[in-house]
Amino acid sequence: MLTLYDNPFSPFARKVRMALGWKGVPFRSIDALALDERQRLLDVNPRAEVPVLVDGDVVVADSSDIAAYLDDRFPSPPLLPASPALRAKARRWQRIADTAFDAIVHDLSLWSWPTHRRTDAPPAGLLDAGRRDLAKLLAALDDALGATGFLCGGVSIAELALFPHVSSLKLVGATLDGFPKVLRWNRDVRALPVVRADLEHVKRSAFEKFAAGASPYEAEKVVWRGDRIEWVLANGYAEWFHTELASGRAVVPRPV
């Protein structure tokens, strides 16, 4: 059976779990961001990031690489549409989800997500800058959608990559109001059985991991991947980020 180095709250792991569910592929899940699983995660991914998929001797890290592997290994139903133009569109929205949406939601959620035990206030203007940029992304998504249906015809990897971020917008004080096609799309996506199962899993895991007392995750140090750093730099928070690095609260993944 396939093993997924997983985490119930990682948007990238959620994308892969939904892709596996979409294809009906059974898998074993390890919550690999739990501190007591760290060495096992490092053994399959020196960057110590989830998700990682292990299929016999094959080890695939990175959610987009995993999605492509799943389409090769289990072609039906596909995660990409048939036409080259729509395939390019689906990959583009997957990339926007993984880079732009993820960076902003992550950077803003440091002060609201229960894993982080931050008692300080966010640097001045950071939350507003994030909500402004999220509104720009949602406007672009609204433009890309039609009156009915999904982004690229049928359900594709674009929906599975975008949804985890869209479902976290409330947490960072952003809203879908003013984006009528995104609101309609969000309702349709939420009605999909794999998405309902994902939301259930996140809700149940939040209760299990956080309500019972001490969380199993790192509380102080935040791992900053490239796009997440890029967004703070682009918005003028280089000095703040430097302080985070100097204090040891910010760490970067090892490339190899």
63 forms part of the interface with ligand GSH (CB under 6 A): yes
244 forms part of the interface with ligand GSH (CB under 6 A): no
225 forms part of the interface with ligand GSH (CB under 6 A): yes
Among 64, 109, 112, 205, binds ligand GSH (CB under 6 A): 64
Q: Site residues for ligand GSH, window 83-122 (CB under 6 A)?
A: 98
144 burial (CB, 10 Å; 0-12 / 13-18 / 19+) is middle
Interface mask toward ligand GSH for 40-59; x: CB under 6 A? --------xxxx--------
Please report how close the Cβ of residue 49 comes to ligand GSH at its closest, in angstroms.
3
Q: Site residues for ligand GSH, window 205-224 (CB under 6 A)?
A: 223
**Region of 62-70, 140-148, 151-159, 193-201 interacting with ligand GSH (CB under 6 A):** 62-70
Among 6, 31, 62, 244, binds ligand GSH (CB under 6 A): 62
Rule CB under 6 A: which residues touch ligand GSH?
A: 10-12, 33, 48-51, 62-64, 98, 223, 225
